[in-house]
Amino acid sequence: MNTQLIDHLFRHHSGKMVSILVRIFGLKHLDIIEDAVQDTFIKASLSWRNQLPKNPEAWLNTAAKNRVLDIFRKLKTEQKHIPNINQGTDSIAINELFLDTEIEDAQLRMIFTACHPKLDPRDRISFALKTVSGFSTKEIATALLTKEETIKKRLSRARKTIQSSGIQFQIPRGKALTTRLESVMEVLYLIFNEGFHSNRKDTLIRKELCGEALRLVQMLLKKEHTRIPEAYALCALMCFHAARMDSKTNSTNEILDLKQQDRSLWHFPLVELGNSMMYKAVDTAEFSSYHYEAAIAAEHLKARTYEDTNWKKILHWYQCLQTLQPMPSHILTMAVICLQTKDYKLAKGYLSQIKAEDFEQRAYLYYGALADLFTATSNLKKALDNIDLALKIVNNSLEKQYLEKKRTDLVIKMKKA
Amino acid sequence: MKEFMMIFIGADYTDLGLSPEDLQNRMGKWFAWNDKMTKAGIVSHGDALTPQIRRISGPSRTVTDVTSAEVKEIVGGYYTVKASSFDEVQEIAQDFPDYDLGGTVEIREVMVFDQ
């Protein structure tokens, strides 16, 4: 007996079914629909225990269709203006909505709904993970390092906004599409970053977030209207980062920086996919921040060893990024790059453009860079002062260890001097 | 060889707020367990039960419909297995997937009536 199901079949199918049912019944029945879909999975998990159906996906689709009719009957007894889907043509229409292309269309509509500008930006991510990706509130809370209560509040706020603003379950056209696509890409970018850059040790949930973002961006690329160069660039960026996922942690799950990573663990099919995405992405006169970020990530991948890194090129891409989207963190990164290339004068210039307050709780990064600059220019006393400032505010234990090691090295150096 | 019944008692899945991913993973564990028992040739029968309960009790045969949400624990399913002792079944029951959800396995020996 085959007992192997496709990974995440239930999770992905949940997003599909919610989207199709919302397309049929409308967003105002989202609550009932989500419950109905949940019921289908509970039923499957019990009745499949001893014997898997021959075609699990078809089973789920049929179950979902039957749930449609159940919901319909339930709604009909409660209110009138429901399309009569029991009859011939409408039931054919419903069958058609379960075709693969229609499922994708419904899911895309759901993504665009989740990223509607009327929703609070923080609510968009939670809502998308719930309705499009089939995560539970608990899973979203774990993934976003937030309390489950907070996620519940965000979800209910998003639902209320959708109802009160009468948001349509549609992909906008024309100018509205351009702005909404920006919001969609931003949400996908944030979901990916939550997975990729988070310092949490639980690698499984991190990979799942990245995988989800990658899956959704590829969905954008399948449709003509949403297949834009920025989306290709975003996809390339995700591929390049994801290729390094397994080398980001060591066997005890500690986070490794680029210098320490085992480059033989990089996943080359993803690099290649990223390259082909990038090739399509550059077919435009105007580059987006995703283009530059992807270019930076690609540059890191090109280097066979850390020492081979082409810092000059990376610095150039950061300058482009900074022009397009000025941010203190870009300036700090440029300063760190100059420290790598031993261009201390330029590093100093960059650091003088920013201050600790720009980085709030991550100000230890700023002090750390200053300390490196002072160490490199033999001003050890000032270097030590800055390390101490950094140590005072750092709360991430790995970063703290890293800074403490630096401090010890520095003290030894000072004794020798 | 004697026959034993493992009875599974616990909260109903519907009331636990499990995610689709949880459900799929849990189902995978049930597969693996069932597979293991089938290969060992010890399982003779098993079923999962729906959470709907109709109770008939007392001399007046009072009927009550109860939902799983109203009772903390519910019999969710059973397996009958062939084994030589309680200890052997206890060993089999180690792989029951739902202990982490507060689930319980009750082992009972099927009574044999001698002539």
Q: Above 0.85 for ipTM, yes or no?
A: no
Q: Within this chain, do residues A124 and A195 fall inside the same structural domain, yes or no?
A: yes
Identify whether A384 is part of a domain.
Answer: no
**Residue A250 clears pLDDT 80, i.e. is over it:** no
In a domain, A348, yes or no: no
The verdict on A15 and A91 lying in the same domain is yes
Q: Which residue has the higher pLDDT, A128 or A101?
A: A128
Instruction: Tell me, yes or no, whether A15 and A112 share the same domain.
Output: no
Highest mean pLDDT among A113-122, A142-151, A357-366: A113-122
Q: Name the residue among A103, A96, A104, A42 with its Cα closest to residue A67.
A: A42
Q: Where are the domains of chain B?
A: 2-109
Closest CA to A217 of A132, A299, A155, A134: A132
Final residue belonging to a domain, choices A76, A98, A120: A98
Question: Minimal Cα distance from B39: which residue of A?
Answer: A1
Using an 8 Å CB-CB cutoff, list chain B residues near A17: none
Domain B2-109 bears CATH identifier 3.40.50.410 = no
Dihedral sign computed on CA atoms, order A182, A188, A194, A196:
negative
- What is residue B35's predicted lDDT score, i.e. its pLDDT? 87
Option in B14, B21, B24 nearest A139 (CB)? B21
pLDDT interval class at A313 (50, 70, 90):
very high
Is the residue at A326 inside a domain?
A: no
Number of domains in chain A: 2
pLDDT value at A48 more than 70: yes
DSSP 8-state code for residue A390: H
Q: Are B46 and A50 a contacting pair at CB < 8 A?
A: yes
Helix (H) or strand (E) holding A151: helix A148-164
Per residue in B8-53, pLDDT tens? Answer: 999 888 888 888 999 999 998 998 898 899 898 888 788 888 888 9
Q: Say how many CA atoms lie within 13 Å of A116 toward its Cβ.
A: 20
Partner-chain contact B19 A13, CB within 8 Å? no
Asked if A45 lies within 8 A of B24 by C-beta distance, the reply is yes
List the single residue in B19, B30, B77 with the smallest CB-CB distance to A138: B19
Verify whether the Cβ–Cβ distance B20 to A139 is below 8 Å.
no
Both A106 and A87 in one domain: the answer is no
Predicted local confidence at residue B67, as pLDDT: 82
pLDDT at residue A341 greater than cutoff 60: yes
A293 lies in a domain? no
* Residue A283 forms part of a structural domain: no
Chain B residues bordering chain A (beta-carbon distance below 8 Å)? 13-14, 17-24, 26-28, 30-32, 34-35, 46, 48, 77
- Specify whether A94 is located in the same domain as A165: no
Which residues in chain A have Cβ-Cβ distances shorter than 8 Å to B23? 10, 41-42, 44-45
* Distance of residue A203 Cα from the nearest chain B Cα, in angstroms: 16
Domain range for A43? 1-98
Inter-chain residue contact B48 with A49, CB threshold 8 Å = yes
Mutation for A interface: B8, B16, B23, most A CBs within 10 A: B23
Sort strands B2-10 and B62-66 into parallel, antiparallel or unpaired.
unpaired
Question: Are residue A179 and residue A218 in the same domain, yes or no?
Answer: yes
Does A82 reside within a domain? Answer: yes
**Encoded tokens for A126:** 């939670």
Asked whether residue A24 is assigned to any structural domain, the reply reads yes
Pair A93, A26 in one domain = yes
What's the pLDDT tens digit per position in A166-220?
899 999 988 999 999 999 999 999 999 888 877 666 677 788 889 999 999 999 9
Give the whole-angstrom CA distance, residue B74 versus residue A211.
37
CB contact (8 A) between residue B26 and residue A45 = yes
- Please give, rounded to a whole number of angstroms, the shortest distance from the CA of B92 to a CA of chain A: 16
Q: Evaluate whether A293 touches A240 at the Cβ level (below 8 Å).
A: no
Q: Give domain status of residue A256, yes or no.
A: no
Quick one: A81 and A192 in the same domain? no
Residues A148 and A194 in one domain: yes
Q: What is the pLDDT of residues A56-109, one digit of tens each?
A: 888 888 887 787 778 777 777 766 555 555 555 566 667 777 778 888 889 999
How close A42 comes to chain B (CA, Å)?
7
